[in-house]
């Protein structure tokens, strides 16, 4: 069985890395992977090693979604990479809760509305690298160009997202 190892023959982290490589290869075709800007995910704690890097689509955007810990309702944050920096462009949520905007003139807001039961805050907010605490019950999900990646599947309790390219090590 050359080249195929059951999970009990290799460490869980190595097995997870192999699975992630397969998922990235299948979910993000070579044409998308060659686009230029990538999103690197690294451990926030411990060694801060890179976990994976994912290609951004032609519009260089991605979404982070989760279940809010207080309101227990979904939240979607939208981002775009511009000139090598992460720019938050929108936050969509159903109920006000701790840490969510509550006024139209929130920092860097460009618009505020209520549509179809959702509050939508448009913004132009540069964030820098994004540290995330990952908990399976809150369904932290990274979405890029129509492909969803449940972040708890990566096996880390905290990750940091930052723009990168295909080849340069972090």
**For the whole model, what pTM was predicted?**
0.73
Asked if the structure places residue 157 within a domain, the reply is yes
Asked if the structure places residue 89 within a domain, the reply is yes
pLDDT tens for each residue of 114-126: 888 888 889 898 9
What's the domain count of the chain? Answer: 1
Predicted pLDDT of residue 22: 40
Asked if the structure places residue 94 within a domain, the reply is yes
Asked if the structure places residue 133 within a domain, the reply is yes
Asked if the structure places residue 75 within a domain, the reply is yes
Question: 139 near 153, Cβ under 8 Å?
Answer: no
For residue 39, pLDDT beyond 60? yes
- Which residue in this structure is represented by tokens 């070579």? 30
pLDDT tens for each residue of 53-92: 999 999 999 999 999 877 778 999 999 999 999 999 999 9
Chain centroid to Cα 102, Å, comes to 24
In angstroms, what CA-CA distances link 44 with 41, 133, 137, 151? 9, 9, 19, 13
Q: Which of 12-16, 82-86, 126-130, 134-138 has the lowest mean pLDDT?
A: 12-16
The SS3 call for residue 126 is strand
Q: Nearest-CA neighbor of 81 among 25, 44, 112, 35?
A: 35
Q: Which of 33-37, 134-138, 162-166 has the lowest mean pLDDT?
A: 33-37
For 75, the domain range is 7-164
Asked if the structure places residue 170 within a domain, the reply is no
Phi, psi of 58 (to 5 degrees): -60, -30
């Amino acid at each position: 069985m050359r080249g195929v190892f059951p999970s009990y023959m290799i460490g869980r982290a190595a097995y997870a890395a192999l699975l992630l490589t397969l998922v990235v290869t299948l979910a993000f075709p070579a044409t998308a992977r060659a686009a230029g800007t990538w999103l690197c995910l690294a451990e926030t704690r411990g060694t801060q090693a890179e976990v994976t890097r994912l290609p951004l689509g032609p519009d260089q955007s991605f979404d982070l979604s989760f279940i809010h810990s207080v309101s227990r309702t979904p939240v979607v944050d939208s981002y775009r990479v511009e000139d090598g920096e992460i720019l938050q462009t929108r936050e969509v949520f159903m109920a006000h809760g701790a840490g969510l905007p509550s006024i139209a003139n929130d920092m860097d807001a460009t618009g505020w509305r209520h549509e179809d039961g959702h509050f939508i805050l448009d913004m132009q907010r540069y964030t820098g690298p994004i540290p995330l605490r990952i908990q399976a019950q809150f369904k932290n999900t990274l979405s890029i160009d129509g492909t969803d990646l449940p972040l708890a599947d990566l096996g880390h309790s905290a990750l940091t997202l930052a723009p990168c390219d295909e080849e340069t090590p972090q």
